[in-house]
Amino acid sequence: MKALLTSPRTAWIVVGVMAAILVVAVTTLQARSATASAGTAAVNHISTNTIPMAELPSIRGEEMAVLTAPPHVPAPITRNYATKVKVELEMFEKTMEIAPGVEYNFWTFGGTVPGSFIRVREGDLVEFTLRNHHSSTVPHNIDLHAVTGPGGGAEASLVVPGHEGVFSFRATKPGLYVYHCATAPVALHVANGMYGLILVEPKEGLPEVDHEFYVMQSDFYTEGAHGEQGFQPFSMEKAIAEQADYVVFNGSTTALTGDNALKVRQGETVRMYLGNGGPNLMSNFHIIGAVLDNVYLEGGTVAQNNVQTTLIPAGGSAIAEFRADVAGDLILVDHAIFRAFHKGAIGMMHVEEVPELAERGRQIFSGPQANRPYTSSAVIED
Ligand SMILES: [Cu+2]
């Protein structure tokens, strides 16, 4: 370069070539930028066309919402019009067993973990009254993932102990949604059990089934190790490290086992409203001994068929449907399997045999046909 610049003529040639390169580069950049903005415009155009403005149906009359404790679900909605649904939900602290002989001070929506199941219809106007019992030690609120609006209702519903707050929202989008407390520190409120599910039933309804169940997974962090007896305080350290002592369905290791097992009869259809409160872990939901015929992934409106294990994120849900074709016990687990057998994420559904369907069941699954000694000819070398 130094040698080239010794001659003024050569120097001008170099400058000329560099200027030409610069012009080409700038032109190319301009062309790319034009293409990019054309692309952005096209995307915007598509998105505004594919999401039409929802028409809000007119509201006729009003009714009180029926709330249920897990594993129960309010009856399907038979109305064919939108109404004002009044939900009244009270929050209070309650010490309950998280495992046999292990007590935990849960913070609850309605006295259960997960909280009361809420069922409304697409288009309904939901008037929500949130009450914080005077014995509570802290303020609470509610963020419903079904709400379109700031904080999912959190700011509008913040109440100190002994107060109630009221706000309203339109259930514009059908699906199964998580609700949870969103009062700072949010993670602490969620870790103590403040979550539940709200179903916004599509206006055309859901196909009729024989049973509907409400099952929600969550993880808990205690000062003592899993199974350590007595009252166990919350461990912030383990929660931050995501080292769960308990991973459970419906708030305890025994909520769905023994006498609490879900019960159906052979040939009956089942719909499960599944949720995951977290606070940290994803649920790898699986039913040992069943294939899920339909799974509405992530609680939305599109169903996948013939699913073995469905992933439910923390703060997410799924709706699973199947028919109990074979009699016997089905086992609900988180298929991150140490959680099932060592941390509590296990439940049972007992399928009672129906005599007329017994033979059909045996054609689908034989049960044991042989168990006998045999002699192997294989030689195993070390
Ligand atoms: Cu709270």
Is the pLDDT at 30 greater than 80? The verdict is no
pLDDT at 31: 43
Distances (CA, A) of 7 to 13, 113, 265, 296, 317: 10, 86, 98, 76, 76
pLDDT (tens digit per residue) in 92-122: 999 999 999 999 999 999 999 999 999 999 9
Q: Are 106 and 93 in contact (CB under 8 A)?
A: yes
Cα-to-centroid distance, 134 and ligand 1 (Å)? 14
Cα-to-centroid distance, 353 and ligand 1 (Å)? 44
pLDDT at 19: 47
pLDDT (tens digit per residue) in 117-168: 999 999 999 999 999 999 999 999 999 999 999 999 999 999 999 999 999 9
pLDDT at 48: 56
Q: Are 142 and 124 in contact (CB under 8 A)?
A: no
Cα-to-centroid distance, 317 and ligand 1 (Å)? 20
Q: Are 262 and 71 in contact (CB under 8 A)?
A: yes
Cα-to-centroid distance, 93 and ligand 1 (Å)? 10
Cα-to-centroid distance, 139 and ligand 1 (Å)? 6
Q: Is 218 helix (H, G, I), strand (E, B) or coil?
A: strand
pLDDT at 46: 53
pLDDT at 54: 65
Cα-to-centroid distance, 140 and ligand 1 (Å)? 4
Cα-to-centroid distance, 177 and ligand 1 (Å)? 18
Cα-to-centroid distance, 208 and ligand 1 (Å)? 35
Is the pLDDT at 40 greater than 80? The verdict is no
Cα-to-centroid distance, 112 and ligand 1 (Å)? 14
Cα-to-centroid distance, 183 and ligand 1 (Å)? 5
pLDDT category at 279 given cuts 50, 70, 90 is very high
Cα-to-centroid distance, 91 and ligand 1 (Å)? 8
Cα-to-centroid distance, 205 and ligand 1 (Å)? 32
pLDDT at 108: 98
Distance CA(220)–CA(244), nearest Å, equals 6
Cα-to-centroid distance, 376 and ligand 1 (Å)? 62
pLDDT (tens digit per residue) in 285-337: 999 999 999 999 999 999 999 999 999 999 999 999 999 999 999 999 999 99
pLDDT at 52: 72
Cα-to-centroid distance, 102 and ligand 1 (Å)? 22
pLDDT at 347: 98
Cα-to-centroid distance, 312 and ligand 1 (Å)? 23
Q: Is 283 helix (H, G, I), strand (E, B) or coil?
A: strand
pLDDT at 55: 76
Cα-to-centroid distance, 181 and ligand 1 (Å)? 5
Cα-to-centroid distance, 308 and ligand 1 (Å)? 35
10 vs 135, higher pLDDT: 135
Q: Which segment of 51-60, 87-96, 136-145, 233-242 scores lowest on mean pLDDT? A: 51-60
Cα-to-centroid distance, 212 and ligand 1 (Å)? 28
Cα-to-centroid distance, 129 and ligand 1 (Å)? 15
Q: Cis omega before residue 114 (within 30°)?
A: yes
Cα-to-centroid distance, 202 and ligand 1 (Å)? 29
Cα-to-centroid distance, 278 and ligand 1 (Å)? 15
Cα-to-centroid distance, 19 and ligand 1 (Å)? 65
Distance CA(158)–CA(135), nearest Å, equals 16
Cα-to-centroid distance, 179 and ligand 1 (Å)? 11
Mean of pLDDT over the chain: 90
Distances (CA, A) of 58 to 31, 45, 55: 51, 30, 9
Most confident of 5-14, 22-31, 36-45, 181-190: 181-190
Average pLDDT over residues 246-252: 98
Is the pLDDT at 341 greater than 50? The verdict is yes
pLDDT category at 45 given cuts 50, 70, 90 is low
